[in-house]
A = this chain, B = another copy of it.
Amino acid sequence: MIKKNIPQKTIDRLAIYRRYLEYASEETAGRHFITSADLSKGTQVSAAAIRRDLSCMGQLGRRKIGYNIDRLCNSINSVLGLNKKWRVALVGAGNLGKALMMYRGFRKLGFEIVAVFDNARLKIGKKWLEIKIQDIRHIKDNVSNKRIEIAIIAVPFKVAQATADLLIESGIKAILNFAPIGLKVPDNIKLRSVDLATELANLSYFLTKKIR
């Protein structure tokens, strides 16, 4: 609805609020409204930041009462584009790929993995949840035929860039990358990366610092 550009940080937090509202049914049970103070307790984001974030979506709150929970969820879903189904390709049928495939949270959010690819003979042809694992060479046909817009890369880092290039050539628009490498993609492709080792390195820094 609102057309202003919403800051990246706000987008990240909108997803957090959304998740809290979805899962924290106990705390919000029976209530129709939630205040920024309560949402702050549930999410560890300051109440002021919450109000500013939510104000990006228009005037949703009611003074003295707070935000209508249903309306808030709807607004966030609408802004984040979660009120539609997204067709997702998964590349890499290793342990991580399997974990992602079996994760129910994706489907609940509207993300459906409709194609799985790998390059290993042993895996090609097997089925995961009714989806047949296909040879990576078929990416191009599939992505365009099935109109897939999002891809998840869960392949070893050595082949990650080539995989990304192939996906982009196939018309993918966004990539969630789990390979430990900084992928290079054109400006019009949206990329998010999750690097597990980097996350641990971060913890390591804080543990080290604390000692002295």
Contact = CB atoms under 8 A, between A and B. Distances in A.
Interface of A: 3, 6, 11-12, 15-16, 18-20, 23, 42-44, 79-82, 86, 88, 94-96, 98-100, 102-103, 105-106, 108-111, 149-150, 157, 173-176, 180-182, 184, 190, 192, 194-210, 212
Given A102-B95, A198-B15, A150 B203 contact: yes
A108 B157 CA distance: 14
How many chain copies does the complex carry? 2
Contacts of A81: 201, 204-205, 207-209
Given A43-B182, A181-B19, A80 B207 contact: no
Given A80-B205, A99-B99, A105-B196, 15 more contacts: A11-B205, A19-B182, A20-B182, A42-B182, A44-B182, A44-B184, A80-B201, A95-B95, A108-B197, A109-B201, A111-B200, A176-B200, A190-B206, A192-B203, A194-B196
Contact of A99 (B95, B108, B199): B95
Contacts of A192: 199, 202-203
A18 B201 contact: yes
A94 B99 contact: yes
A190 B206 CA distance: 7
Contact residues of A: prevailing secondary structure: helix
Contact of A190 (B19, B43, B44, B207): B207
A16, A175, A199 — most chain B CB neighbours (10 Å): A199
Contacts of A6: 205
A29 to B, nearest CB: 15
A3 B11 CA distance: 34
A187 B23 CA distance: 24
B207 A150 contact: yes
